[in-house]
Chain A
Amino acid sequence: MTSRLGIDVGGTFTDLLLFDERSGAIRLLKTPSTPADQSVGILDGIQQLIEETGIAASEVAALLHGTTVSTNIVLEEKGAKVGLLVTEGFEQVLHLARSQTPGPLAGWIIMQKPDPLADLELTRGIRERINARGDVVTPLDEASARQAVRELIELGAESITVSLLHSYANPQHEQRIKAIVEEIEPEMPVSLSSEILPEFREYERTLVTVMNAYVRPSMRRYLSGFEEKLHRVQFQPSVNIVRSDGGLMSVERASQSPVHTMLSGPAGGVSGAAFMATLAGYPRALGFDMGGTSTDVSLIQDGKPTISRQTSIGYYPIKVPSVDVHSVGAGGGSIAHVPMTGALRVGPQSAGAVPGPACYGKGGDQPTVTDANVVLGRLPPQLLGGKMLLDAKAAEEAVGKVARALSLDVHQAAQGILDIVNENMFGALRLVTVQKGLDPRDFALVAFGGAGPLHGNAMGMLAGCYPTIVPPTPGVLSALGFLYSDVKNEFAQTFVRNIDDADVSQIGEILSKLGRDARTWLGEEGIDESQQRLSYEADVRYFRQGYEFSLEIDPNRLGGGALHELAARFGLAHERIYGFKLDQPVELVNLRAVGVGAVQKINLPKFEKEGPDAAAAVVEQHRAYFDGSFSSVNVYDRTRLRTGNRIRGPAIVIQMDATTVIHPNHTGEVDEYLNILIRPDQAS
């Protein structure tokens, strides 16, 4: 039992990464995804891995699974029929949403708004009322609740959600309604907003609760099917599902709260990037994950990904902890075109996996970023270990269309396409830093994803982010990141109080209850008590401000001015992030316990330093275009590169899952974890 298997299911490919803890050997496998049932593709991949490596199924101790099942259900509107019970007078909470229409001015003319995930036909108002302090204003009318539950069941509700006003402050009415549902229909799954997201703002809380119920049946079906298939091939590892914040949870947990898996894949990538950047000695880094249709940019500080508690899936804002990624519609498949204004535009339309870039030879004839890379020789037509031959002629023909429309030659047009897409992604890099008052030049850049290493050096040049780090498995970094994750969950409770009026003992009680919840959860996840770590946070803000941020708080040291110390820390943090602080009362908004169960980590092997000469890794020469002309450049086989090797640009490094470009006047150096660190020559 010495191997761990990370699996990342993407839109096009399913990545498998098998790590042998004894030898440190890593094996990669990419297999086509099977969207109808993702587990089919995974099992194919596992079979292939077994065949190729001869590994015994029993040797795989842990399987870590990043999944897009729940995201797809929401985006494709294929979820369950959810019944919703709310406070009378607020039946349209999901329908009215936040009343927002998109920009710019007159953007409402083209807005597409999906119907609520719980149909208004399946929504009922219940007579009851609790106020912001948690006091009962109107007692629960149980008869009307009973009546409503019966109606929903009659109308075919497959699961029932309850989201009453201020239930975060007092969940009694929600709990009573749950009991009523269970009396009437014991088998009916019930979700309470006070359990799923006990935080204020009724739209967001109701939405997350309903979304969870909406994806739950399909997720449960998927996961039980998956486990069953594993058993069929005598595979019995411990299975964990990756959460949107990069933590892990058990299959059973994931079946119960699938809403926490919405950004499972990107979370793994960022965790992996943070891990590799830290190993390379750069705990401040920008994650640059360029895929086929989009690029995700993320901020890594102190070796940790930034966690956000508000993200969105399509139209829906969802308030669950997630790795903070900023997406732009620019990727290898982005299509270049010349609209009627005569501008050169790249994306956001993408050729996707089908038909894909012209050079894939699958019927695509639109020029994409990948085609531009082929035309310039940056992407050699025959990829090492790859089964696919790229059609350079088709790429030239496709890019030629844009070239003619712009009166350029095909190479100039290809260069233009790359320049434009790089500029778009550069905008995203600036935004994630500038928004937080940071300077991108203070960060390294981790380039990953299928197309990240092709563009990473160019991004480093634009943004001044050095070194540009290309990890050893850039195309499957998500799967690697999974192997480096901990079991994790958060328990939060809204508690809005002015810090001057707050009752310290009450805060202590809430925190210790949240801490108990976290420990119980970790225990149920099978985490030994010695491996459990708890931390506590308070969300704090100025009185009546519409936004807050999280600060650590120690429940054992609450007395003696601890809250004023918290307020002072808040002022400092506010000044650092927003540029000013105020002479205003500070208030608590949410209290939170974060439970982490340390899982045995992989230890990437460290290699002995060898000489700088990389000549042994050169496999061929290829003509590539840099700075306006073609020249012959060395093509290196990544697997033959050794620690300490230095690669002078221009150069191309090929490997199964990605191709790295090193530009002229830059040098890549292989570090002891086999990362390539690219720096400009004058600085090295």
Chain B
Amino acid sequence: MTNLSPLSSAVTFDDLLKANKKQFDQIFTAQTKELGLIGASRLPPMSADLVSASVSSEAVGQPLDLYAMLNDRFGSRWSSEVVEHKTERGSVTVLCKLTVNGSSKMQFGSARANGDEGAALRRATEVALRNCVDMFGDNTATEARAELPAVTRPSVGRASGAVRGQEMAVPPTPRPKESRRLDTVSLDLIENALRNARHEMDAVLFRSAMSPVIREQHDEFPMITDAQGRMIVGQFGSYVANMLAERNFDLEPGDVILQSDPYKCGGAISHINDWMVLVPVFHQGDLVGFTSMFGHMMDVGGSVPGSMPTAAASIFGEGLRIPPIKLYERGVINKAVLDLIMNNTRTPEMNYSDLMAIVAGCRAGEKRVVEICGRFGRDTYRQACDALLDRTNRAMRKLIVQNLPEEPKSFEDYVDDDGRGNGPFKMKLTVWREGDNAYFDWTGTAPQAPGPINFYLHEGMFKMFIGVYMIMVFDPQILFNDGFYDLIHVTMPKGSLVQPDFPAPLGCRTHTLSRQFDVLGGALSYNAPEMATAAGYGSSPHFLYSGVDKAGRPFQLMEILYGGIPGRPIGDGMDGHSWWPLFENIPSEYLETYYPLLIEHYSSIPDTGGAGKHRGGNGVEKVYLLLEEGEISIHDDRHLTPPWGILGGRPGTCSEKWLVRKDGTRQPLPAKADNVRVHAGDRVIFRTAGGGGWGDPLERDPQRTRNDVARKLMSEAKARQEYGVVLSGSGLDVDRRATDELRDSMRRNRKPAKLFDFGERKAAPRTAHVG
């Protein structure tokens, strides 16, 4: 070993000190608490406690001995890292991780500074590492030695930012410095190159896709995986293994696999509109990974245009299902299969060009991965994939320890109905952690629905949702891949809403998908509610209108509406915005140009956002005046169970839909309805739900409440009743004194707020038969 005392040369104390201090404080508190070093307090521990509770630094031998001992015991199979450190009243405490043969132990160590913090940091590190060694016991050492390989350990390594002198330990001779530098930087270069490759996949797809759903709304998802199918970059993860398990393909260069059956990939795609393409990537004959994308097809057959019938009783009623098949075999397209598929959609031309665009996108990714292998070397590329996964793994361990409860905590919410008159359907998620492993259990969730709201949740997909959500809430800087999957353990009862049995219908699963996020957010919020958000409009409101116009031309409109975004730690929820990223509304001028209708009103509905220090966003109201006879379909939810508020925030208002006949008769429409007959002059009023509020409404800046009223986003009555804000005069000036008095009396007379406010569940309305 050339560098036996890495701390002295590699990292200064100041550098470590500047690491994310806030984060350290949190993890430090959590860890010390876990180790029983301090009580239930969230305050930083007293240094005296720590010193007395850990091995005394005086007992430590010479540093050289420690590293020599590590080499002696574990050969090249160990690496170490200072995960965090802290200095407090003259003592330095560190949390160290020692990894041997891929398994890790973490321990604290502490030392008095006596004026030299650098030296104390070194000593504390040694204490911690020795503690880790003790935890491994003797067996590991034997195993490690037994496995001591002839090949040198690759040095791509984990760039840990802390102690890393040893992690690339390479007997018998140290690698030259030059190549080590290359390796560290190569890792970052490869990461950037992969990220660029992923964007290039998108660019190629957008360039050649035809349907507006993909091209404009970006309903598509790219990824690049390693040879085991673990996602390295992308948005959605880890279905490759399931997909390949289904059919034992011999993979060869030039193969392209296509599939669209949720039941044949463990739910990796969750309805049959999504077509998924998988391309194995070979570099000089060796499989180095996969590129994959899936995109939403306009129509895949079945009983209604768009292929998402609200009344489907089984997946057979929804349209064409494609099992995993080779669309291309060694570069040759299977024309017969393509013809068969295209014969089963109402939009063959669009599907064809979208499918080819997806294949082109995957191929672009393939090309780039091969290029990267050529540029950096195939082995380096493979090692880089491992290292990238490991980076995210480590970041996620911290998030888990910081943010998840050790006691199981459950959260429940409801999907209101299934489109076939059944409901509500409970979704229940229980979350806890054991050490730095997290457990998510859907036990208690309702049995599968007879109607098509079942959301066949793929385990990998759910882990990805958890990861994205936690990263967005707690630390948006972390990069995102499959590296943390082994830290998360998921239980999904078979035959339930999230794991339905074949052939349950799946077409309208977006409501359940959306509710899943509400439940996940709720379940994750117990430990740090101030970082959590309330619930949103919680569905994917669709309006469909089809028929034949006066000129004899058929028309078919599908529009997605939006609603109230939840109140958030950084501010109010947006009014009438999309919770799904990058989706856009359709301009009214566009709608009126192409479809026989007039939009009479399109704005957010005052008072529908739940009150809060940061209020929930308002739902929107859109009024369609229909100019031709035809049929409409409606998909929505949150018409019975309001979106909940958090930390004193109030729930948002439920959604509702009305059909107003030309003669003025007004009838409620169900949340999910297909093929409702309409006539020229009829109106549809579509009102989506508001978002829940965040925090105590009485703490909202009165001026902001005043602005809401002046901007007609809130009524004066609501400002007074829920925010205690009294306005006066035509200028709606805040009457400060009256406001203070009113707020005081409201505070005195109210019950203490619970963490969540679920509001009142509405009774199912008696919807008249329409159509």
Contact = CB atoms under 8 A, between A and B. Distances in A.
A99 interface: yes
Contacts of A105: 235, 465, 468-469, 472, 580-581
Contacts of A580: 208, 210, 353, 356
Given A105-B468, A106-B472, A108-B565, A91 B203 contact: no
Given A95-B711, A108-B578, 15 more contacts: A92-B602, A99-B576, A105-B469, A109-B533, A112-B571, A119-B711, A132-B589, A341-B395, A344-B184, A407-B165, A420-B189, A423-B192, A427-B196, A546-B590, A579-B360
Contacts of A232: none
Given A99-B583, A341-B392, A496-B593, A424 B192 contact: yes
A104 B196 contact: no
A577 B203 CA distance: 12
A104 B581 CA distance: 6
Nearest to B604: A92
Contacts of A596: none
Given A92-B603, A407-B6, A496-B593, A101 B587 contact: no
15 contacts: A101-B565, A105-B235, A121-B707, A132-B592, A202-B588, A338-B161, A340-B395, A342-B158, A343-B479, A408-B184, A412-B185, A423-B196, A434-B203, A434-B207, A545-B212
Interface string B572-586: 001111111111110
A327 to B, nearest CB: 14
Given A342-B164, A408-B181, A427-B196, A201 B207 contact: no
Nearest to B6: A407
A682 interface: no
A340 B184 contact: no
Given A92-B575, A416-B188, A404 B10 contact: yes
A19 to B, nearest CB: 39
A259 to B, nearest CB: 20
B210 A582 contact: yes
Tier of interface size on chain B? 35 or more
Interface string B187-211: 1110111011001100110111010
A99 B207 contact: no
A409 B20 CA distance: 24
B577 A578 contact: no
Contact of A100 (B11, B20, B478, B584): B584
A95 B575 contact: yes
B570 A110 contact: yes
Contact of B582 (A103, A110, A401, A546): A103
A106 B14 CA distance: 35
Contacts of A112: 570-571
B709 to A, nearest CB: 10
A21 to B, nearest CB: 44
A22 interface: no
B19 interface: yes
Contacts of B215: 546-547
Contacts of A100: 577-578, 582-584
B679 interface: no
Contact of B15 (A341, A404, A409, A424): A404
A203 B587 contact: yes
Interface of A: 89-92, 95-96, 98-113, 119-121, 129, 131-132, 137, 165-166, 200-203, 338-345, 401, 404-409, 412, 415-416, 419-420, 423-424, 426-427, 430-431, 434-437, 496, 544-547, 577-580, 582-584, 628
Nearest to A155: B731
Interface of B: 3, 6, 9-12, 15, 19-20, 23, 158-162, 164-165, 177-178, 180-181, 184-185, 187-189, 191-193, 195-196, 199-200, 203-204, 206-208, 210, 212, 215-216, 235, 349, 353, 356-357, 360, 364, 391-392, 394-395, 398, 465, 468-469, 472-473, 476-480, 517, 533, 562, 565, 568, 570-571, 574-585, 587-590, 592-594, 598-604, 620, 623, 707, 710-713
Given A91-B603, A200-B593, A496-B593, A98 B585 contact: yes
A423 to B, nearest CB: 4
A101 B574 contact: yes
B642 to A, nearest CB: 19
Contacts of A628: 178
Given A166-B592, A341-B479, A578 B196 contact: no
Contacts of A131: 592, 598
Which 6 residue pairs across A and B have the least CB separation, nearest first?
A427-B196, A120-B711, A412-B181, A342-B161, A342-B159, A416-B185
Contact of A165 (B517, B571, B588): B588
Contact of A420 (B185, B578, B581, B587): B185
Contacts of A437: 207
B579 A200 contact: no
Nearest to A91: B603
Contacts of B478: 341
Contacts of A342: 158-162, 164, 391
A405 B161 contact: yes
A583 B210 CA distance: 13
Contacts of B620: 96
Interface centre among A105, A202, A423, A545 (most CB of B within 10 A): A105
B603 A89 contact: yes
Contacts of B158: 342
Interface centre among B20, B193, B196, B349 (most CB of A within 10 A): B196
B604 A166 contact: no
Given A99-B585, A120-B712, A340-B161, A104 B210 contact: no
Contacts of B581: 101-108
Given A90-B588, A101-B581, A104-B581, A577 B207 contact: yes
B574 A111 contact: yes
B587 A416 contact: no
Contacts of A431: 196, 199-200, 203
A163 to B, nearest CB: 11
B568 A109 contact: yes
A634 to B, nearest CB: 26
Contacts of A96: 575-577, 585, 602-604, 620
A309 B63 CA distance: 65
A413 B170 CA distance: 22
B242 to A, nearest CB: 21
Contacts of A412: 177-178, 181, 185
Contacts of A340: 19-20, 23, 161, 395, 398
A98 B208 CA distance: 24
A406 B603 contact: no
A407 B208 contact: no
Contacts of B23: 340
A573 to B, nearest CB: 13
A105 B161 CA distance: 28
A131 B579 CA distance: 31
B575 A104 contact: no
Contacts of B19: 340
A512 B711 CA distance: 43
A405 B585 CA distance: 46
B582 A102 contact: yes
B161 A341 contact: yes
A90 B188 contact: no
B189 A132 contact: no
A267 B446 CA distance: 59
Nearest to B464: A105
A106 B562 CA distance: 15
B576 A92 contact: yes
A424 B191 CA distance: 11
A163 B657 CA distance: 29
A4 to B, nearest CB: 40
A91 B576 CA distance: 13
A350 to B, nearest CB: 16
A121 B712 CA distance: 8
A106 B524 CA distance: 14
A591 B23 CA distance: 57
A227 to B, nearest CB: 39
A90 B200 contact: no
